[in-house]
Structures are given as C-alpha cells and as structure tokens.
Structure 1
Amino acid sequence: MSKSNTFENDLLKLIFNGTPIANIADNAGSSPLTQLQVSLHTADPGEAGSQTTNEATYTGYARVAVVRSTSGWTVTGSSVSPVNPIEFPAATGGLESLTHWAAGTDSSGAGKILYSGQISPSINVSNGVTPRLTTGSMITED
C-alpha cells in the first residue's frame, strides 16, 4: 500500500503549511491549528506513542511552537523540514541523549504526534547545552 508522490507532498503541505488539497481537504475548520508543537525524544516515540513518550526531561526543556505555514516549514519532494533552525531552551541540569523529534498538537501533555523523525547525529544534552534542530532535520512521507 502506498500513496502517490504528488499526494504525499500535498498531505505534508496540508499538515505543515495549512495548504488545502483541492476537492479533498481544506484548512477552513472553525479553529485550525496555527502552530505545530515540536518535541524532542530520547528514543523513537513509535506509532502508538504521544508527545510524552520518551520525551526529553532535562531541566529547562520545553516544546517549541513553529508556525504552520510556508514561513515555518519547507515541503518538497515528499519531505518536510523546518525553514529555520528550531532552538530549544538550554539545559540547566540533567544528562540525556536526544535521538528523535516530533511535530505534534499540544504545547504540553500527551499531545498527538503527527510526524516524528530521527535526529542525526543525536544531541547529547548536559548543563548549558542548547539543543537545536537544523534545517536539515527532515521527515519523509514514504
């Protein structure tokens, strides 16, 4: 089972940019999300996980909101990546290795993960480290 490359690209544009898919879906709901909440994870949250599954716990950590539009996300070739680096709060305590990131719905709690991907190379967090996802951080719909 698979989707066409064109539809994969359209689906990513709908979710990350709020771009309608003609005759199928639009973004005109009564209160569509205007931002996606990006979270960091110490292991793959998996398809059954939420944004709290394996989520970072270093002191100072918080999810980061990224605008749901072409100024927040680049969609091309069935892949999505941030337009600008996504910088998370600096660690003020704790040690952990961050291996995955996710785009989800909630700023805290068990938000719905829309997509997740691997961080390569992983980010080792310790006091004073500011985790950052680069524009090369990509999720592919394939």
Structure 2
Amino acid sequence: MTVGLSAAAANTHLDNQGTTYPWIKLHTGDPGAAGTSNAATETTRKQATWASASGGAKTTSADLSWTSVSGSEDYTHFSMWTASTGGSFGGSGTVTANAVTSGDTFTIPAGELDLSLSVAS
C-alpha cells in the first residue's frame, strides 16, 4: 500500500493508544460509536499490557482473563477504555466468537489481541 501513516507515526499512535485506553471490556456484538452497545453480562474490564508497537502493529504481552464469568453468551467484540469503570471510550474491535457458560473462565492469551494501522510502504 502506498498510502497510510509512516511506520514511526503509526507506532507512536498505537503505543499512546495502549497507554491511554488500557482497559478492555467484552461485548456480544458491535459496541457501536460510543462503545456501549451489546455489552456482555460480564462487566469487569481487564487492564491490558502491550508490547511496543513495531511496523504499525502491537499485541498484548500478557493474558487477559475473566474468571467465573457472570453470564452464558458469545463474546464477539471488545472495547477499550481509560478506566476500570466509567472513563472514556477509545476504540473497539473483534475477537473470535467464544461461547461461555456462567462460571467459566474466558482468556485472551498474550499475543492474541492486536491493534494495527495502515502503514505506507
């Protein structure tokens, strides 16, 4: 692709995004423009830790685990927030659909939650 951000600009933006919006919430569908639609019954937000961005992409450096989830549903999306409760919405994305039953543990393993931007090449 010949259009997009420079790799350095993309990496800076992604590293700032991960620092500003580290709290991850689960959803059962598209979170929408405000990040509040299709919220999962499991309301706990988990704090992500991220590896440094490289080449316009970054990934989590530790597992995100929700233990003893509070409802039976399919997680399909996530949203990113500035705080563990309340706070500001920073973005959203998809996860591979995962069915859980109340009481299950749901884990997104390290390296499996990714953020990326288009980089000019």
TM-score, normalising length from structure 2? Answer: 0.78
Return 5+ residue gaps in structure 1 as ranges. Answer: 18-32, 67-71
Q: How many residues align?
A: 114
Task: Quote the RMSD (CA, aligned, Å).
Answer: 2.2
Q: How far off is 1:119 after superposition?
A: 0.6
Aligned counterpart in structure 1 of residue 99 of structure 2, from 89, 110, 124: 124
- Give the TM-score of the pair, scaled to structure 1: 0.68
Specify which structure has the bigger relative contact order, considering alpha-carbon pairs within 8 angstroms and separated by 6 or more residues: 2
Q: Does 1:36 align with 2:22?
A: yes
**1:115 CA drift (Å):** 2.8
Residues 60-81 of structure 1 deviation map (CA, whole Å, 9 limit, x = unaligned) = x411123xxxxx2012221222
Q: Structure 1 pair 130/106, CA: closer, same or farther in 2 (3 Å)? A: same
Inter-partner Cα distance in structure 2 for 1:85 and 1:126: 20
| 8 Å Cα contact 2:47-2:64 kept in structure 1 | no
Deviations 1:16-69 (A, max 9, x none): 25xxxxxxxxxxxxxxx6x721111111213x122x3222114xx411123xxx
1:85 aligns with 2:27: no
1:138 alignment partner AA:
D
Identity %: 26
CA contact (8 A) 2:81 2:88 kept: yes
CA deviation map 1:98-127 (0-9, x unaligned): 001122113224x4222322112x111112
What runs of 5+ residues in structure 2 fail to find an aligned partner? none
